[in-house]
Structure 1
């Protein structure tokens, strides 16, 4: 059967939470994920440690036990896999939604790389980790440039430029330095971001102060070449030797997909999607947003811990419209 009460696009923690609530309420549902289970978390750095404690990442009151108070990526992957298995959730992995629109009967038609589906309600829980913010400079497309960072061993003994001063940039700089890379951070502002994890911030500041890691504040990359980078440092152009660039400049939701579905975005720089904060329903009837996608470019607004409630909020609203019977 290819018709469902609800189709959930995105198989991350919040998409999983929505699936759990749909199943608990006796609704037919399908979670569609374009990659592996919790694909965004899988693509995090291998040694990443969460800012949140494990209990704040739990779903459906299923205990999340970790070795430390703040769990690591590998523990989160195992936890969410077990949650999906425990609930026997209906989820299709490695299946990409390529088109979604409403028909004349006010039903959503969903086309993926594998199948066609219909649903009365759709929940978008796609996060923001899929589309990097570009540098828009010459050389950005060279093979040595990456907008994602995974394992520091790859950069051992190399001259590495890390762009940015957020958590991902700081983690990459510290780990690459400790694997023997010569690290230069190119930072637009005049200090390390205040959003950096409080137990990591002193570490990076100490490494900078002692000269182990070079930090160029008030700086921007101007050009990337095969063997070097050109940097605007306090309005002075400098060129340094370089093997790899980690352009960890942040990521954005798939705004094209949201607009294709008819969701309006704010006219300011954040491009925040339009939705009712009490129901999570967008300006398109029966289309809901859940999780970090709600924040637009302001990606620090929503996290797993404060958006888990979206699943209950959405399903409560769907049930309240009396289109379905509870079982």
Structure 2
């Protein structure tokens, strides 16, 4: 298994390790999975190609890294102002999302699974305060996926940097800000040491699905019981990782603020409002120039419309009542 994460890094790095351990144990070592960290076997942003070309049988990464070769891949990690982790899982497992994902990756000979989740993300780390939309003009911001395109339309310069290189990019001034995951993983990478302002909400990435990639020919060659073990192990990690992220993020956010002096800030309303407006145009433009995106977007929007009403009267109303 090649991964896009530094080996054993909190969050997705640990997901890759647990997934390998579960598959090996559950199969009685009929399948033995060895994990390679980012750059150990393949460059972090070439994991998909490695699986597709059978350089490795498996990979662990995030779908939006493949946007350059497959624009529609972004739907399977995060869409700005889109589905939350629970809502995304409902679309994948109940709303036809998995079939569309299989079709998209299947053209390259890859079988995808949800196999981890870092939860709702933070907005990112900045070396200076963001007081209004004007402060984003010309700002160099590390951000992949559709979120990067939204930020470009807000006036920022979106830069794609592999996770293991974000700290150095912030420290050197290559970027003025960077988003990665949530407080747990972000703290482990030490971003607070070079960028004191930590912004919310993470409207660009409301879901953090980690994906397991398997060479389709290798997967199809497995016995049915081994295929089932891989499938169940991925589902188990998707659930476990989300619970872990929620638990650890709460603890680490408190630590960052109270012990490390991190300045927690809310994005100004004009930034959020403009980003929401631009997101719809970004999605329409994506569908206009890419056939698979045009096929997937209606399914995604249907799932979002369905989820929003229930989330409003279910989770949203309850959280408002709980908080008083």
**Global fold match (TM > 0.5):** no
Greater helix content: 2
Higher radius of gyration, 1 or 2: 1
TM normalised by structure 2 equals 0.28
Greater RCO, 1 or 2 (C-alpha within 8 Å, sep 6+):
2
TM value normalised by structure 1: 0.28
Task: Tell me which protein shows more strand as a share of its residues.
Answer: 1
